[in-house]
Structure 1
């Protein structure tokens, strides 16, 4: 069981690093450097937040799987909803701004959110498919 947890966390970390590298590369070529400097939340901070939340979510799902395997899906939905609420609280200051860089920052934030949601969904499906 521990190796499954570690493997899942490594998958999240690996895919998170790939996503971060791709985003930094895209920003280097298509986003003015002044935009990224003026972001409310730095891009690495956003990735770190979503990585930590995803890792915690997966660890909780493994704990739930040990006790009540039939509740894993419901717990995933509950924790994802909680993550959405926290993310909305984080993005509120960005939504209130009307600067030229705001559109880029909004897109960046929501793309990272959706990217980590897809990763979490993938790992959760793997957890559910490994019923024992």
Structure 2
């Protein structure tokens, strides 16, 4: 096992830690109470982190087998992740109230954040071999 090949996972972990700290600081500074949320911030970060790690493990395995298929693998794994996230989001979409609006925006922002991190790190993987 070559640890250099798994460097994107370390980068992903560092980005997730920084994003989590910033997220907690923002919630603290705006006095947003997440205890009434259907999913706590910690649960969401855990879910999104696990899904992102799975995406990157798949991408790194595809990179070892066939570098030309990384882009298609990224699109496929991201599509599967989107379906899983929708299934997780369904209870939040059905909720109503003031906190549900904040929770919906929070979920969407986290999804976009993790998608951006995955996209940037995938671009770095693709650019290394050029």
TM-score (norm 2): 0.93
Give 5+ residue unaligned stretches, structure 1.
none
1:8 alignment counterpart: 8
Q: Over residues 45-82 of structure 1, what are the superposed CA-to-partner deviations in whole Å (9 max), with x where a residue is unaligned?
A: 10111111111111111110111111110010000000
For 1:92, the equivalent position in structure 2 comes to 90
Count, aligned residues: 129
Q: Give, in whole Å, the separation in 2 of the partners of 1:95 and 1:31.
A: 23
5+ long unaligned stretches in structure 2: none
Residues 53-132 of structure 1 correspond to what in structure 2 (within 5 A)?
A: 53-131=51-129
d(CA) in 2 for partners of 1:104, 1:77: 29
TM-score, normalising length: structure 1: 0.92
Alpha-carbon distance, 1:2 to partner: 2.6
- Could you say which residue in structure 1 is the equivalent of 2:21? 21
